[in-house]
A and B are shown apart, each in its own frame.
Chain A
Amino acid sequence: MKKSEFPDAFSEARGDKGTGQYDDQGDEVTMLLRLKDVRKTAKDWQTFRSQDERPGRIVVPTEVDIAVVRQIPFELDPPKHTDYRALVEPWFKRPDSPEYRKKIERIISALIDEVTAQKTTEVVEGFSLRLQSRALTVLLNLPYEEADTWISWGTHVFRSEDNPLDGDKAQVLYQYIDAQIERASQKAGDDLFSVLLNTEVDGRKMTKEEVKGVMVLTFAGGRDTVINALTNTIAYLGDHPEALEYIRQNPDKITFAVEELVRYFSPLTHMGRVVDEDATVCEHAAKASSRVSLCWASANRDETVFDNPNEVDLERKANPHVAFGFGIHKCLGATHARQLLRTLLSVLSQKVKAIHLLEADDKIEEWDDFHRKVGFDQLTARFEKI
């Protein structure tokens, strides 16, 4: 098997039943595996809620025991969700601007110069974590040097390797965010912390707790997902030199290529919802207050929708994937993630002749019967400069 091959972990269950079960510390989750069911359920926020009374419950595995704050707007439903989403959305659309792209381009270009000068690079820590962190300074509009702190946390800051629900680990992030909120409230700047503290909702300023809710979402939601998307893209281009050549020859096809890569990798496996009242999904009875999950990773390999779903086809034109979710809660950071990946492909194709993959350890998630490769614990590569 090639290093960049990511098998479909859900094929059999998706065809047979359309659902899977995951025992999440006693709070069982019914995983929805078919694209149509996932999209329909994601759309129906009235029946499948994100605003549970216990913050952390829609995350799988559940974070109810460690969540100290409600993530905003992600753990709200309309009408509240509508207001908060509208307030933060313009900020998260900034990545579409040419100035933003230029900043990201400079960051990527400098990093590629670093790695092409090295004999070998461990991609997860030495490339993806650094790029994710440095690019995040642009999204938050903080000084470039701030990334050094986030890089120093390592890849396992929010979850320890042996225990995904290690509350102490999450404290690093919470304390950092608290300190930044204090800093911004003493002396406002033009960064996201300051902007949020100055944002009005319901005729009053956003509270520190609400700002924290937005920032926890921004940091946690865009860390592992982005790191995996970046590493997996490097692995793919290493295994497929013809793809790097294709991008070099067809820079106008980068947008399509990125959508196909995120479909194939689906960096976030699934996300939960709480059933508001007894409902039926995929001929399955969903009881009130039980949980279902929208399995993006499975939906993106649905053979009833995608031709050759287990192959990366960079020219795939009709590609109705749900890698960034679907409906009102679709990924707030998607504009940033897309810009980052598009610019990465562009700069790589201009500066890198070939990527030679050396060693790899797969990162495998276990959801009871389903074992899914989602990325790499480590990937060593040599970047050969043009």
Chain B
Amino acid sequence: MAKITFITKSGESTTFEADAGNIMELAVNNSVQGIEGECGGVCSCATCHVHVAPDYYEKTGTPGDIEADMLELDDNVNEYSRLGCQIDVSEELDGMVLHVANK
């Protein structure tokens, strides 16, 4: 079980627990503002863009080539940008804080 916190653009902070699936699914299932997950998690729509808190970035790993190409063209990209659909929930990520990148 991992507790994951999302902070939206408007500053709202909510924490959810999960033991399976990916970050996008967790956010969509809990209606986190700014995470749409339109394509269902195949790295095609970039509507699940988050900034990972620096302490956790190493644990999530760096984006793959396809994900990096998607991020390159998205708004509000920074060095901690990831697409939520490409991060699987695991025990290791317990306590992670994510800032939603777009409104």
Q: Which residues of A approach B to under 8 Å, CB–CB?
A: 36, 39-40, 43, 255-256, 258-260, 305, 316-322, 330, 334-335, 338
In the complex formed, the residue of A with least CB distance to B73 is A43
Is B40's CB under 8 angstroms from A255's CB? Answer: yes
Contacts A305-B66, A318-B64, A318-B66 given: A259-B42 contact, CB under 8 Å? yes
A43-B71 Cα distance, complex, nearest whole Å:
12
A152-B103 Cα distance, complex, nearest whole Å:
42
Besides A320-B43, A320-B44, 7 other A-B contacts (C-beta < 8 A)? A39-B69, A255-B41, A259-B39, A319-B43, A320-B42, A320-B69, A335-B38
Is A39's CB under 8 angstroms from B73's CB? Answer: yes
Per the CB 8 Å criterion, the residue count for chain B at the interface is 15
Q: Which residues of B approach A to under 8 Å, CB–CB?
A: 38-45, 64, 66-67, 69-70, 73, 86
The interface centre, meaning the residue of B39, B64, B86 with most chain A CB atoms within 10 A of its CB, is B39
Contact of B44 among A36, A40, A319 (CB under 8 A): A319
Q: Is the interface of A mostly helix, strand, loop or mixed?
A: helix
Contacts A39-B73, A43-B73 given: A320-B66 contact, CB under 8 Å? yes
Which residues of chain B have C-beta atoms less than 8 A from A258's C-beta? Answer: 40
What's the least CB distance linking B82 to chain A, in Å?
A: 14
What's the least CB distance linking A165 to chain B, in Å?
A: 33
In the complex formed, the residue of A with least CB distance to B70 is A320
Which residues of chain A have C-beta atoms less than 8 A from B67's C-beta? Answer: 318
What's the least CB distance linking A258 to chain B, in Å?
A: 8
Is B42's CB under 8 angstroms from A256's CB? Answer: yes
Which residues of chain B have C-beta atoms less than 8 A from A334's C-beta? Answer: 38
Which residues of chain B have C-beta atoms less than 8 A from A321's C-beta? Answer: 42, 44
